[in-house]
Structure 1
Amino acid sequence: MDALFLSRLQFAAATMFHFIFVPLTLGLSILVAVMETKYVTSGNETYKKMAKFWGKLFLINFALGVVTGITLEFQFGTNWSRYSAYVGDIFGSLLAIEATVAFFLESTFIAVWVFGWDKLSPKMHCAAIWIVAIASNLSGLWILLANGFMQNPVGYTLQNGRAELANFLDVITNPFGWMQFFHVIPASLIVAGFFIMGISAWHLLRGSHTDFFQKSMRVGIYAALIFSLFTAFEGHMHGNEVAQVQPAKLAAMEAHWETTDYAPMYLLQIPDVKNEENLIEAFPIPGLLSLLAFNDPSATVQGLKDFPKDQRPPVMLTFLSFRAMVGLGTLFIVLAGLAWLVRNRLTDYPMLLKALVWTIPLPYLAHQFGWIVAEVGRQPWVVYGLMRTSEGVSPAVTTTQVGFSLAALVGMYLLLGAADIFLLFKYARKGPQ
Structure 2
Amino acid sequence: MRDERRCADGAKAGRRARKAEWEARKAEWRAAEKARKARGDAPDYGSGPMGPPNAFTLLPWLLLGMGALSNIVHGETPNPWIGALGLLLFNSLYVTLVFRAFDQRARQAAATRWCLVALGAVTCAMAAVYGGSWMLFFPLLGLATGAVVRGRRLGQVMLGISALAGVIGGLREGWDALGIVYGTFLSGMVTAAILALAETVRELRDTRQELARAAVDQERLRFSRDLHDLLGHTLSVIVVKSEAARRIAPRDMEAALGQVRDIETVGRQALTEIREAVTGYREASLASELDRARGALTAAGIEPLVRQSGPPLPPQAAALLGWVVREAATNAVRHSEATTCEIEVRGGAERVRLVITDDGRGTGTTPPGSGLTGLAERLAAAGGTLTGGPVPGGGFRVSAELPVETAVGVEEGATP
Using structure 2 for the length normalisation, give the TM-score: 0.20
Of Structure 1 and Structure 2, the greater helix share is in 1
The structure having more radius of gyration, on CA atoms, is: 2
